Amino acid sequence: MRRLSDDWRYLARGEVAVGDLLEGVGIEKAVPGAGVLTRAGFDGVVRRLVGKLTHVTGKADAAALRRAAKLLDRRWDGLTAAERDRVIGAAAQGFLAVPKLVIPKVETILRGDLTSVVEATKAAVGERHGLAITADLNTQDAKVVDFAASSQGSYITDQYGVRATAYEQRARDIVADGLDKGLGRADIADMLRDELTSPMLGRAASYWDQVASIHVARARSYGQLSGYTEAGIERFVNSAALDEVTCVICRFMNGREFEVETSIDRFHEVEASGDPYAVTERQPFVKVGRTEDGDRFLYAESGGEVHHIADVIDDATGERDEEGRYGRAASEGKLAAIGVTEAPVHGRCRCTTEPV
What residue ranges do the domains of the chain occupy?
1-233, 238-356
Question: Is the previous residue joined to 344 through a cis bond, with omega within 30 degrees of 0?
Answer: yes
What type of residue sits at position 26?
A: G
To the nearest whole percent, how much of the chain has pLDDT over 90? 83
What is the DSSP secondary-structure string of 181-227?
Answer: TT--HHHHHHHHHHHHHHHHHHHHHHHHHHHHHHHHHHHHHHHHHHH
Q: From residue 69, how far is each of 58, 87, 90, 178, 190 by CA, in Å?
A: 16, 11, 11, 16, 10
In a 13 Å sphere around the CA of 247, the CA atoms on its Cβ side amount to 14
Rounded Cα–Cα distance for residues 189 and 174 (Å): 9
Find out whether 226 and 122 touch, Cβ atoms under 8 Å.
yes
Give the pLDDT confidence score for residue 34 in this predicted structure: 61
Find out whether 262 and 341 touch, Cβ atoms under 8 Å.
yes
Spans in the chain with pLDDT lower than 50: 1-6, 8, 18, 21-30
Q: Is the dihedral of CA 205, 12, 42, 277 positive or negative?
A: positive
Cα-based torsion angle of the residue sequence 188, 194, 198, 201 in order, rounded to the nearest 10 degrees: 0
Give the pLDDT confidence score for residue 51 in this predicted structure: 93
Give this prediction's pTM: 0.88
Number of H helices, E strands in the chain: 11, 7
DSSP lists the bridge partners of residue 353 as 238
Question: For residue range 294-351, what is the model confidence (pLDDT) as tens digits?
Answer: 999 999 999 889 999 999 999 998 999 999 999 999 999 999 999 999 999 999 999 9
Print burial letters for 163-188: b (CB count within 10 Å at least 16), e (below 16): bbebbbebbbebbeebbeeebeeeeb
Rounded Cα–Cα distance for residues 104 and 116 (Å): 19
